[in-house]
Structures are given as structure tokens and as C-alpha cells.
Structure 1
Amino acid sequence: MNSLRAAVAVAALALSVGASEAKTYRWITFKPQGAGDAQQRSTQWFVDEFAKRTGGKHTIEVFWGGSVAGTREIPTALASGVGDFGDIITPYFPDQFPLNNAVGFFIPQPNNTREIGELMEKWHAEIPQFEQELANSGIKAVGFRPLESYGILCTEPVESVADFKGRRIRSYGFAYPKLIEALGGSPVSIATSETYEALERGIVDCTPIGPALARGWKYDEVAKYYIEYPIGASFGHLLAMNLASYEGMDEETRAIVDQLGKDYLGVYADMLDDDESTVREAWESELGVTVIDPGVSTEDMATLSANEGIQEVRKDWIERATALGVDPDPIVAELEFK
């Protein structure tokens, strides 16, 4: 927190000069520079493209690895002007950003990474409350970074959905505990950083995750069975700006940022697809991970989603959206199995 306070003071001085004149913007992120995954590479792509499209007039300096603000500090740091750009792990802030966390209440859902990103773009363009929710915190969304489509990684084979019964499955957030209970499993709340050891020691038998993330966290070293259970993509990260920094840009630069945000989704999704393909190839060869398809249909997922516990979570979001003046029905329709 000391680094965050110091950065606030520096940012306040910079803003007093005038954000519209800034030529070097600051991007604060939790991602390590050497991560090498789609999230880190696409961040670097955005930064490089910004310099290129502004003809070098403006640049972005990235402060990697939480060096300025940790994951849970970034919204406050952006709002305070510590950073001009930053990536926010949206599910960490369901009460602050309930609308922008809509997907997190609708797990499982049928959309993939690109489709979730496109839905977020659509909702921001068509429903003013999505942007206003962020503006209330001094933030502007300039891009969207959904996570990959998830299955379930286990330490033992799961040949059918019935085999999830009695399994201890890693859980988090609002929707996953109810999904796990609907499958007959026992939800166990464990942090991402602690899941490797939990799988290794048998504290949990399975965890919902996608291939690229499973490899990134090395969970596939201790859990060798990936179940193609169609949970869908979760919404992950907002690419956000300090609202004053965004509004202080000249019209040309602001238009470049807007277009970069639109282009970003396709670039990121392509990188994520490449990562997943590489991981699946490694699973088949040197890593020895067995992929199991339990034969779950769209109809099966629709039936599961009708579970009372799952519906309770969805009703919670519907009530929040309604209270904010949003018609939830069109959004819900996009997130249901049909």
C-alpha cells in the first residue's frame, strides 16, 4: 500500500499539469511481464499498437506484476489517477460492478470467449447503465478480456456426469458452488494460488478451469484428467482507463483507443486459441493428460441450469439489474442454454 500512496501523490501532480497533454500514459497490471500467456502478450500488443497508431506521439509505460497496485487495488488506483490504463479482474468486485459481472452469475452458460466479449461490447453500447456503473467509480471500459471456455480438471477419471457425485470440487464466486452442488459434488472454496497443492494433496478432486489456465498454473502436473464439461467462458477482465484521462485525450487519440479496444478482442481471442491448441497438443504427448468427453448435450445443460440453487443465483443478479433500471430479460436470454 505504501507504493500505492506514493503513486497517488505522483499522479495528482501529473493530473494538475493536464491529462490532455500527457504523452506517456501509465498502465498498471497484476500480470508479470514474463508471463508469456495471452493476457500478457495481448497487453503488450495494445501498448505497441497505441504507439504505432499515434505515430509515436503518445506511448504507454507498463508497470507489471502489481508493482504499483495489486489486483484488488487497481480500481481504486485507476480512479485516483495512479494509472491511466489498467486491467481489472471484474469477478473480484461483484458488489461494486454487478452489471459488469453479469456473466459470473450465469455459470454455466453457452457462449465462448469471443461471444462473451462481443456481448460485453453490445451491452456497453446499448445499455447506458453498464458504462455508468464504471463511471461512478471514475473508470471507463476500453476493452474486454473474457476467460477461456472451461471444463473440469480432475485427479481421477470422470466418465459420466454421475461420476461427479461426491467429488470435492474447487469453488469460488457466486455461481460455482451451486453448479457443483447441482452436479452432486461438494464445493470447496480455495484460492487459485492454493489449488495446485489442494489437488496434489487430495484436498480437492477437481477444479473448473480451461486448458491454457490449467497449464499456466501447472495444475495439469497433478491432475491428469480433463473433462469436457461445457461450462462456457467466464468474463474475466476489463481493460479500463481513468475516466478523466480518457476524457482528457484529444479526439483523435480517443478514437484510436476506442478502435484499439474493439480490435483487442479478436487479437486476444486468437492468442488464447493458439495457447489452448499448444496445451492440448502437449497433453496428448509429453504431459499425458487424458481428455474425456462425457457426452453432455445442450438439453442436458438447460436441464441442469433449471436447478433451484442455480436459479437462485441468477435471480439475485436479475434483482440487482432491475434495481438499477436495466431490463434483464434480453441479457438473460443471451446467457441461457436453448
Structure 2
Amino acid sequence: MKLNRRILLSACAAAAWVALPAQSAERWNMSAEQPDGNYITGVAKSFAEDVAKATKGELEIKVHSNSVLFKRPELKRAVQTGQVPIGDVLVSVLGNEDPIYEVDAVPLLATDFDAAWKLWQASKPAMEQRLAKQGIKLLYSVPWPPQGIYTKVPVKSTADFKGMKFRAYNAATSRLVELMGASPTTVNSGDVPQAFGTGLIEAMITSPATGVDSQAWDFSKYYYDVQAFIPKNVTIMNARAFARLSPASQKAVMEAAAAAEKRGWEEARKQTATLTQTLAKNGMVVGKTPPALGADLEKIGATMADEWLKKAGADGKAVLDAARR
């Protein structure tokens, strides 16, 4: 019987850390969501290099980009069960498990990097606790650039989106699209060009990084820099795999993770303007938020914040209170 390539890869990934005795050299595979050219994958590779150097080869991590090991919906479970010891994932896609995970996808709650960092510091302990109960260690986060809207036609307000087939990538963006009057359609980032080309979607909200990765200028014309929210990818590790490492290697991993987070947030700030300029250089019409659309989004953001607080309860209120201090 011919085995699926991903099953073979994940089996190898698990074997790389299960089969070796404690304190011997470990060879791990890491599942990274984004393609090699994306800065989030670049941060992951630098993290792996730092770990190998600091542990003097006791732990070596090979980064597999573009979700070739596990797709986004599969990643957390794969890490939890040890199919792969480490990987990164867009944290808001875990919102179906617990609303705490999707706080960074509430529109207009944190629209610049300073506010997003405060929100991350406020929400990180709650996320760490939840993941730890499932045998997962949270290592570091890397933010995306602020989210903007891509369309084929010019728009002025949410009325222009009525009935439009609009890409969503998690529960929060699906709700946002519904409140905008459009029709949400879930499409993975790698499938965006084909989805636009076949008419499956006509618009999307995503970062300039995804726009450049997918060469959005080939299928859309307008980019509105609405800066709706700043989502994050988080890198997570199987807690049992971490426990198998020597104390010195554990320390090295955590120090490398802290350095990766610092590097990732700095890189996101630098990349945002460059990536937005790349969209314009390739012929897209890049503009600010139209006033009427901005007013509509403010109302939607307030609605979604109220809905999120009702779901998240006291823990959610504590996160927002801490972020707003």
C-alpha cells in the first residue's frame, strides 16, 4: 500500500525524538506554516540555528516550511500527540477550543504593534496555562503585519461588500465578514490565487505579507490599509519532548525562543512598510481606509469585542483590563 507523504514525514518526525535515549543528540523536525520567503519562517530557521549552536549539537531542528508536514488545522494536535515535536500555527485558529486564543483577531482592539505587544503580554499567561494542561509548551510568538482588505473593485463602505464572496481563515474573520454583509468562504493562504481565479472569492482581509506571498496583484487591484487587527503565529513544543532534554538544552531552547520573539516582532515592524510598498510597486492601488468604511468597522469592532467578552468571561475581562493598563 502506498503511504501518504505527510504520514511518512510525520512518522519520521516523531521517531526523531521518541527513539533516542535521554541526553543523547536529538534530531527534530519543525512544521512551519509559511513559505521560505516569509519572515515568520525566517525567524523559525534562525531559532533552529540558535538552538543548535547553544546546545553544541545536542538538539538540531530541521524546519519544514509551507505546511508540508501538517496543515494549519492539524498542527496543534500533531504537537500534542508527538507526531511532530515542534511547530508554529496562527493562534486565533484555536479559538474554537477557547476564546482566549482569538483575542488578537477582535477587530480594532489592537491596531498597532505597541498595543498588540501589550495584548500579547496580557493574554500569554492564560494561553500558556491552557496549553500546558494539554502537554504543550508555548515558546514564542511572531506577529503578522496589520490586516488590510484586498478587492477587485473599489469600495467605500461595507454596503459595497453586500453578497460579495469574501475569504475567511478562522472563526473571527468569518464573523467579521458576516457583519460586513459579505459571504465568508474559508480558503487556506496557499489556495488564495486559485480561489480568486475561479471566482470562489472576490475579496479578502489579510496582511501585506500574505499579499506578497500570493502575488495578490495578479488577481486583485485594490488594497485598503485598514489595519483591522494584528494576528500572531505561535511556536509550540511537545512538553514531553522538552522534558527529555538536558537542563542545559532546555535553558538554551528558552533563551533561543526569547531571542526569536524579539527578532520576530522587530522584523514585523520593519517588513510592514516594505511589503505594503511591494504591493504598490506591482501595480496595486494602495489606499487608506475610506471614512465610511472606517466608521462601519468601528461599529463592527465594538460588536465583536462585546461578543468576545461574553464568550471569554472573567478570564477575557482580566486580559483586556491588563492590556489597557
Which TM-score band applies after superposition, normalised by the shorter structure?
A: 0.7 to 0.9
SS of the equivalent of 2:72 reads coil
Report the TM-score when normalising by structure 1: 0.79
Task: Note if 1:157 corresponds to 2:154.
Answer: yes
CA displacement 1:6-37 (0-9 Å, x = unmatched)? 8558846953654x4142341331447x6211
| Structure 1 equivalent of residue 81 of structure 2 | 80
Which amino acid is the alignment partner of residue 329 of structure 1? K
Aligned to 2:319: 331
Do the aligned residues in 1 keep the contact of 2:150 with 2:224 (CA within 8 Å)?
Answer: yes
Q: Give the number of equivalent residue pairs.
A: 319
Q: Which residue of 2 aligns with 1:41?
A: 42
Aligned pair partner of 1:223 in 220, 226, 232? 220
Q: Which moved more, 1:20-29 or 1:214-223?
A: 20-29
The C-alpha deviation readout for 1:30-77, integer Å capped at 9, x for no partner, is 447x62111221111101111222344432233445454443333233
Matched with 1:187 is: 183
Distance 2:302 2:16 in 1: 54
Q: Shift of residue 114 of structure 1? A: 6.2
Give the distance between the partners of 1:4 and 1:167, measured in 2 at CA: 39
Distance 1:205 1:124, change over 3 A: closer
Answer yes or no: is the 8 Å Cα contact 1:99–1:133 preserved in 2: no
1:15 aligned onto 2:24: no
Residue 155 of structure 1 deviates from its aligned partner by: 0.8
- C-alpha distance in structure 1 between counterparts of 2:288 and 2:13, whole Å: 53
The question of whether the paired residues in 2 share the 8 Å contact of 1:28 and 1:74 is answered with no
Matches of residues 52-71 of structure 1 in structure 2 within 5 Å? 52-71=53-72
Amino acid corresponding to residue 28 of structure 2 in structure 1 = R
In structure 1, the partner of 2:142 is 145
Check the 8 A contact 1:149/1:231 in 2, yes or no: yes
Task: Compute the RMSD of aligned alpha carbons.
Answer: 3.4
Greater displacement, 66-75 / 7-16: 7-16
CA contact (8 A) 1:25 1:84 kept: no
**Paired amino acid for 2:234:** L
Residue among 263, 266, 269 paired with 1:270: 266
Distance 1:8 1:219, change over 3 A: same
**Residue 252 of structure 1 corresponds to which residue in structure 2?**
248
The one-letter amino acid paired with 1:242 is N
Q: Bigger CA drift: 246-255 or 39-48?
A: 246-255
- 2:311 counterpart of 1:317: yes
Specify the SS of the correspondent of 1:21.
coil
Q: Residues 299, 265 of structure 1: CA spacing in aligned structure 2 closer, same or farther, 3 A cutoff?
A: farther
Structure 1 residues 65 and 23 mapped into 2: Cα distance closer, same or farther (>3 Å)?
farther
Residue 100 and residue 247 in structure 1: after superposition, are their counterparts in 2 closer, same or farther (change >3 A)? farther
* Structure 2: runs of 5 or more not aligned: none
| Structure 1 stretches lacking a partner, 5+ long | none
1:112 corresponds to: 112
Counterpart-to-counterpart distance in 1, 2:58 and 2:158: 59
CA drift of 1:219 comes to 2.1
* In structure 1, C-alpha distance between the alignment counterparts of 2:178 and 2:70, rounded to whole Å: 36
Q: State the match for 1:291 in structure 2.
A: 286
Q: Is the 8 A contact 2:167 2:204 kept in 1?
A: yes
Question: Does the Cα contact within 8 Å between 2:29 and 2:61 map onto a contact in 1?
Answer: yes
Q: Which amino acid aligns with 1:291?
A: V
Distance 2:36 2:26 in 1: 24
Using the TM superposition, name which of 222-231 and 248-257 deviates more: 248-257
Deviations 1:235-284 (A, max 9, x none): 3x221111012223333322222222222123123333444333333333
Q: What is the alpha-carbon distance in structure 1 between the residues aligned to residue 198 and residue 58 of structure 2? A: 53
8 A Cα contact 2:30 2:86, kept in partner: yes
Residues 142-194 of structure 1 show CA distances to partners (whole Å, capped at 9, x for unaligned) of: 11123221010111122x335535261323432333333433x3123131344
Contact preservation (8 Å) 1:74, 1:87: yes
Identity %: 16
SS in structure 2 at match of 1:83: coil
Report if the CA contact (8 A) 1:103-1:335 is conserved.
no
Using the alignment, how far apart are the partners of 1:265 and 1:333 within structure 2?
A: 23
Question: Matched residues in 1 for 2:114 and 2:49: separation?
Answer: 22
Contact 1:152–1:226 under 8 Å retained in 2: yes
248-257 vs 292-301, greater mean Cα deviation:
292-301
- TM-score calculated relative to the size of structure 2: 0.81
DSSP 3-state at the match of 2:18: helix
TM-fit CA distance, 1:213: 0.8
